[in-house]
Structure 1
């Protein structure tokens, strides 16, 4: 492919690589940071890891700059590097798979799971990178049940819509291996997401529904009133609850609420709450702020991420939030 046949970005990248122009290299690659970070997050389910691996992608791209010939677009080349950086990361870690839990109805949990702040998503709502159903926690968790290379194949083929030949080239696999991995991955995803739509390439909604907004409002009001009964009314009987990274979990509303009460919720010292609505992973959420008797301010404690079905909370995933400034939430109220 001659320079005259290259796209503008590809030609500019090759010119920057030849001239060792680090500033121009940064300009050309930085525009892909948000979508590459989402890609790494889908692979790893951890926002901080995805930040690190996105940076690793740019470092590898600079080191490999002389190998770029424009046979693929710059975006495709960067995705290939990012995917393999994530696979290398996973090959070295033995703590990045679901772990069994002793809770009836729950198979495993991801203690390394972190929420993804919506403010850092790519801005273009048409990008497959921001499709709501492929950034929600249920999808991110389900993908973690796949072996890493199956995970990569599913994301490249079914989420990003790459043809099999392109995915095979990126992963240095045969077409038969890619097709086989995709079929096995789809079976696992159907098992993990039995009630969810699995055609992720078709248009998906991005905005919260009226029901979702109303339930978040009621959830916040119940918290601020210390209203256990009101909170209970918002939960489906078969609620799935997890609190990360501590590993607390429950598979019914009754067991979840019992655990919260035993842990001191709404008791002295844990009864002065202020909450604000927010979103993470394109999902409704509430940021929970607690004021203790010896503190004049409400301090960010947790974020509760809600999956709402027919006006009730079907899944509640809590995360410690005080140590996550990247969520973009105020530290105090």
Structure 2
């Protein structure tokens, strides 16, 4: 029984009296979007899964506190937000954003967030309610891309929550204040400060990327050329696809390969020459509404291709401008095999 099919008082009573069936159906309806919310708060796909489980457990334990003054969805968001804030304020988390910089001295947010993980687009699609539902929101690229996720990690926890609730989810200031137990004035002040920090942390051309949920035709063409050049280990073709000021990061490492030549110098030994790893193969996928390539290699003397890493690309025009490389830990979440 979905929330929209229940009268307000009926929903309140069913949940408060411990109707597991009603609670489970309502919770499952919002589970995927709550995971995205926790992911924005934490930057880690793995932690987000843990936190949404924790939030639903808290909601069940606190079911008698659901009075029906807000929607069940808003009540769950409040619990999930506060569960994330508890983690962010815990000494056990022990994470500080560093001060990594590129060769030009500019800050590189993604290189400073070692716990950053990608989020499969297939799971993002599950988080959007059906068309026509009152809470339906397209998970737009600019609110889930890696640059945004990395930049938001530079905000203090309460500012982070305010920015997400107000600017991403579009909650009113009063509802945000109630959720975070702040005054409306404090929410407005926190939002103003958060926006200033985000402008400082996001790439200069961020505003030009536009509101899209999937790659453009031009991006797809560049992605196909990138994939083919990688499979051929064609450094000349790859060089043509990289913008001169392209960057590559590899969380959790703080290393930044800054510029086309630095990237090619790092790639060259594994692609060509006597130390080359072997035959490469790429598989297209998508993460954070960005084109993504899962890389595999068949080493000399081996029969199968083994998973190596996951490259999430940012493409501007006809060039690759940013590559964020992750390990194989989340291949299963993307539905990818570790051997081909």
TM-score (norm 2): 0.89
Deviates more, 1:248-257 or 1:16-25: 16-25
SS at match of 2:322: strand
Q: CA deviation at 1:10?
A: 4.7
For residues 295 and 306 of structure 1, the distance between their equivalents in structure 2, rounded to whole angstroms, comes to 29
Structure 1 residue aligned with 2:65, among 64, 67, 71? 67
Partner of 1:168: 177
Structure 2 residue aligned with 1:14, among 12, 15, 25? 12
Structure 2 residue aligned with 1:178, among 158, 183, 187? 187
Structure 2 residue aligned with 1:138, among 147, 153, 156? 147
Q: 1:255 to 1:155 in 2, by over 3 A?
A: same
What are the within-5 Å matches in structure 2 for residues 50-61 of structure 1? 50-61=48-59
For residues 296 and 106 of structure 1, the distance between their equivalents in structure 2, rounded to whole angstroms, comes to 44
What are the within-5 Å matches in structure 2 for residues 16-165 of structure 1? 16-92=14-90, 93-101=92-100, 103-104=102-103, 105-107=105-107, 108=109, 109-121=112-124, 122-124=127-129, 127-128=136-137, 130-165=139-174
Q: CA deviation at 1:132?
A: 1.5
For residues 248 and 94 of structure 2, the distance between their equivalents in structure 1, rounded to whole angstroms, comes to 21
Q: Is the 8 A contact 1:269 1:293 kept in 2?
A: no
SS at match of 2:206: coil
Structure 2 residue aligned with 1:211, among 214, 218, 225? 218
What are the within-5 Å matches in structure 2 for residues 132-281 of structure 1? 132-193=141-202, 194-197=204-207, 204-261=211-268, 264-267=270-273, 268-281=275-288
Q: CA deviation at 1:18?
A: 3.6
For residues 82 and 35 of structure 2, the distance between their equivalents in structure 1, rounded to whole angstroms, comes to 14
Deviates more, 1:276-285 or 1:22-31: 22-31
What are the within-5 Å matches in structure 2 for residues 313-328 of structure 1? 313-322=320-329, 324-328=331-335
For residues 8 and 237 of structure 2, the distance between their equivalents in structure 1, rounded to whole angstroms, comes to 57
Q: 1:50 to 1:322 in 2, by over 3 A?
A: closer
Q: 1:289 to 1:138 in 2, by over 3 A?
A: same
For residues 233 and 215 of structure 2, the distance between their equivalents in structure 1, rounded to whole angstroms, comes to 26
Q: Which consecutive residues of structure 1, in runs of 5 or more, have no partner in the other structure?
A: 1-5
